[in-house]
A and B are shown apart, each in its own frame.
Chain A
Amino acid sequence: MPTLRIDQREISVPQGTKVIEAAEKLGIMIPRFCYHPALGSLGACRMCAVKFMEGPVKGVEMSCMVEAADGMVVSTTDPEAMEFRRYVIEWLMLNHPHDCPICDAGGQCLLQDETVSGGHGLRRYQGLKRTFEDQYLGEFVQHEMNRCIHCWRCRRFYQEFAGYFDYGAMQIGNRMYFGRFAPGPLESPFAGNIIDLCPTGVLTDKPSRYKGRRWDLQRGPSLCLHCSLGCNLVGSARYREMIRVEARFHGAVNGYFICDRGRYGFAYANHPDRPRQARVGEEAAPLDQALKTAAQRLGQIRERYGPGAVAAWGSTRSSLETLGMLQWLCQDQGWRGPQFFPQASLARRVKAAVARLDTGMAVSLRDLENADFIVVAGADPVQEAPMLALALRQAARRGATVAVIDPRPVFLPLEYEHLPVSPGDIDLCLNLLSQAARSEEAATGKLEPDAARFYGLLTSTNLEDPLLQERLLALGRKLQDCLRPVIVCNTDMVRETTPARAADQARLLQADKGQAGLFYLLPGPNAYGAALLAGREEVDLLAAMEQGGVKALVVVENDPLGSCPDQERLLRALDNLELLVGLDYLPSATAARSQIFLPTTTVFEKEFSHFINQEGRLQQAVPLHQGGTPIIQVGQGSHPPRTFLDAIPGGEPRPGAGILADLAAALSGEPAPPTAGDLWDYLSGEHEGFSQLASLTASALGEGVHLLPAEAQEPAWSPEPGEKPPEPPAGQLELLLVDQTFGTEELGSYAAPLQKVEEEPHLLLHTDLAADLGLAPGEQVALLLPGGEVTVRLQTAQNMAPGVAIMPRHRRLHWQKTGDGPVWLPPENIKKLSEPL
């Protein structure tokens, strides 16, 4: 621990810390452009010059390039260093254009701040300014290369940190150019981060271009709801419109960065068709009145058919408050439900995963970066939870081995081993990997009795493909020498046994090596909370509705018509209802079908909300504004109307929890529902996973709390790890419904910027299989599913499992025709419709 003095203050820092970091720990921000904590030092901008008075280095040096050492005395305010920095700013500004008023970075520009604070005002040099041609870089990033000061941050992030290579540096010296070889959209789904990183206005945010200056924005800490990782955001709103979202640093979750889905998905909150008015039948009504009507009609149904005739259906995108209140309402009123997942099998998988997490096992994204062997089972990180791919890349950069066991043609921006096996074989692969990772005698000698018994039960059936088998065993041998392995497992398209098996293997590794991690991906930002609330009992509302036992359904921030895999059955079931009450903030099909509709607010509006991410971290989203129709929509692009109102136009929607509480009060005739504080107490009694909630302080909530139990709820090993899950009938294809980075995720599919970049949906088949069927890529094919026909364009891939057909749950594809569980199709069900385009 070297100890040094910076500006007469002493500090001890770990070995290897740069002086600029040490100063930051003292609260001294040394001016910088190229240095960034996540990207490290470069020494390109010369801005962080300080004077070293004593110690191993003497004179003016770059504080980002010098490691702190014992006996150093550093002055950041020495006249010589200040003079040096003044000249640096002056020469960085030589070529910088005179366009701050029309630059979106103005007001949030590091170069502007440091120019002003350094006192540089007049350009003394009278020569010509250097110029560059700009490029089209896609729908997210605006390029204005004249403003560049050559700090290299964008290129270092894009290539080194994120692992994509279509954007980089060209030319030399003063003519250095940052861009692509040819104009075109940036390929990386993390491209938006170079906007945050750019210290000036070379790379600015395109969707929010010219929409407002930083000082005019209502900004606040928020959360990303576009997958289960729970990345931290700073949201910005202006004139009741969500303008922009940036990454917010969280040491354990997302670090300094977020993916483009999280960055541009927020636009659902500004959707022009977003329902902001309560509705009874076809008539718009004030929210209070619609609420009363809903309570009255729900009361009538309860009287006529009993309380079990009313059911509630929530979703994993609601805040913990809304989910908790819905649960409370169901218990209080004796309603059926609530159900939180679109299908029963998914609920079982998520519950199995959540029940196996505890403090000893769960790892955060940050821990994952420090792992040395990562098995990704049944997950395609870039498509499902992009920030996971970025964390995997950091692990790989530190030397970790990454093995992906997934039927899809997985792409990761790093070196990885991909084993394309069908979902039914993932369990087997995990078993084989485990077996190969330790020799028999080592296993039986060292392991605890329980673990050893489990190890003994592992089967040694081989994979069909000997090549895959060999690669898997080689990986297993590599795993033998690893110290910090992590198993990443998804809950989406895998077999029901897989989440539990992944946990078993992680525990086996833990028993073997003393350290191992488990990392699940869950469906939705609050799936962890929903799984805890759902408890052990199974609710199948669809079956109950079909049998006619349910007469009224309350759908809360959920769109079953979009997410339920069997739409025809759902429509029949909905026809049996006498009343459908919808609460939502999206213009969804279910919202449109509701007989009584009550508008709710998004995570950005009105009240605090909390979400639990996939590793059990409770995090808080702060409201940014008070809701209402954006002024740009009220004024239709022109100036806002010149009228005075006593309420915010379109400001009626309220948080789902509040509406449900009022509904409960109207139903029981007394103002009894729990307030926010009581709700925490109620939840902490409801499930032991929530037991910490009752004693949380406000500041702890702001930082995020890990709600994991010390001991997993489901500590038992799987009884029969050798058992093979059901296999497809011979010669049939398994249809896998999967996610894509853009286009399948519910909230993001309502966001205009993401709609512009989403890929066209396509059916993916193995190249050989397509050739056998006489199909060529690009052809339009008809896919005959149990619930009807889907027309989709065909694509083929070589690096995918042979026995599967892969289709995204794309918003432009009518995929809801499959039913629950694995779908097996005879290959004849894929028919050619047209020639390739």
Chain B
Amino acid sequence: MPDRFCGHCGEQLGEGLGAARHVPCEQSLRLEPPRFCAQCRRRMVVQVTPTGWTAQCSRHGELSDVRADVAEGAEGPEGPEGAHGTG
């Protein structure tokens, strides 16, 4: 399913001029993890680690970007759902 919402600002992704509005968001997402679920716009629970991040949507599961190349020898997150407690 194509993304419906911007992971940075949470607004609806459009086409043409609508999509162009999110070019700065795409640039921001090079230096930060997504905060909004692209499917449902829920705010995700995000954990950043020194070499990666995970973003959990309560409806659509987890996204992650763990840089395994530099984490060699390190134990990764515990399975696809992670092990985060929410405060």
Is A bound to B?
no
Residues of A with Cβ closer than 8 Å to B? none
